[in-house]
Amino acid sequence: MTARHLLSIAEFGAAGVQRVLDLTDHMVAVNQRPNPKVPALRGRTVCNLFFEDSTRTRLSFETAAKRLSADVMTFSVGSSSVNKGESLRDTIETVAAMGVDAFVIRHRSSGAPWQVTRWTEASIINGGDGWHAHPTQALLDAYTVRGALGRGGAGTTFDGVRVAIVGDIKHSRVARSNVEVFCALGADVTLVAPRTLLPPELPTGVEVTSDLDAVIDEIDVLYLLRMQNERISDAGAPKGAMGTLVPTIREYSARFALTPERARRLGEHALVMHPGPMNRGVEIQVDPAELPGALITRQVANGVAVRMAVLFDLLAGPTTTMTGLVSEEATA
């Protein structure tokens, strides 16, 4: 059973997560070839609709679609008729009329990708909506942890793995989706944040603390979040500042950043992750290149393979098998 859309991890389901993680192994193999391209999605069209800034997500979806031989349209709001007041619905309907099989959507409004499913027959992939969800980031993070822990293969579980997600949880779609994916895989998840940066409703099944030092020695995966200045400003606080949510950056960093001292306290086996872009000196005060367990570059590299797996899962159709494609190279 394949899904039609990837909107959130919860809706995609645990079986969908396993399917994508397993498919990603094949995509990593494709990416290691001298010609990293397969004809899997030849004739399909993927449209990237990014209404919000992005570097990694947009470029990796574009690369992923091309490596599967799909045609790619990329839409940046800066040069589109959205600036002339065209609505999201009109934009979608206009682009869909050109023949699109999947839209990847990033939008500042939570729920926008769900809305869009009502206006087109195409598959919708959520590339990040407001504070709400970022499911492909969560999948690439789960894949990265699975690789680093050597827990690959069918039926991956993270039983007994202690994950701490640290920082601005309240404004973070990455945190919400990662809680869903890590919990679905059986990890023990702890949210670490000042009370002002926690959402009003906490996800079930997670621990919460505002004392990073109390948990740092026990962590297997330290997942640092970016301080989301632009979203805090959206919420009415003074622009560029943490407003009333955090007294000062310095105080925030003293309690929640990965400092050299905390890096020393982390277990040798501990993995350190960040979705990027990093605020160096705020949530991370060490050079990740010098941390043996840092996976930040691997997260970006895996982003392409995971997004290939997602596009393949949604678009390839039941008759295209990955195993057949691995031995086949695109000639185009």
Of the two residues 120 and 137, which places its CB atom closer to ligand NCD in the complex? 137
Q: How far is 131 from 197, CA to CA, in rounded Å?
A: 12
Q: Is 174 in the site for ligand NCD (CB under 6 A)?
A: yes
The nearer residue to ligand NCD, 107 or 134, going by C-beta atoms, is: 134
Find the binder of ligand NCD among 56, 151, 255, 298 (CB under 6 A): 56
Identify the bridge partners of residue 107 per DSSP, sorted by sequence position. Answer: 129
DSSP 202: P
Q: How far is the CB of 29 from ligand NCD (least distance, A)?
A: 24
Whole-number minimum distance, CB 151 to ligand NCD, in Å? 23
DSSP conformational letter for 155: T
Determine the 3-state secondary structure of 247 from DSSP: coil
Contacts 24+ apart (CB under 8 A), 201-208: 203/176, 203/179, 206/179
The answer to whether residue 242 forms part of the interface with ligand NCD (CB under 6 A) is: no
Closest distance between ligand NCD and the C-beta of residue 90, in Å? 25
Of the pair 56, 151, the CB lying nearest ligand NCD is at 56
Are residues 144 and 18 in contact, defined by beta-carbon separation less than 8 angstroms? no
Cα distance from N-terminal residue to C-terminal residue, the chain: 30
Assess 57 for contact with ligand NCD (CB under 6 A). yes
Report if residue 171 touches ligand NCD, rule: CB under 6 A: no
Asked if 173 touches ligand NCD (CB under 6 A), the answer is: yes
Burial of 154 (0-12, 13-18, 19+ CB in 10 A): exposed
Figure out which of the listed residues 130, 194, 275, 288 binds ligand NCD, where binding follows CB under 6 A: 275
Q: Which of 137, 178, 253, 302 binds ligand NCD (CB under 6 A)?
A: 137
What is the C-alpha radius of gyration for the chain, rounded to an integer number of angstroms? 20
> Where do contacts with ligand NCD occur on this chain (CB under 6 A)?
56-57, 128, 134, 137, 173-174, 226, 228, 275-276
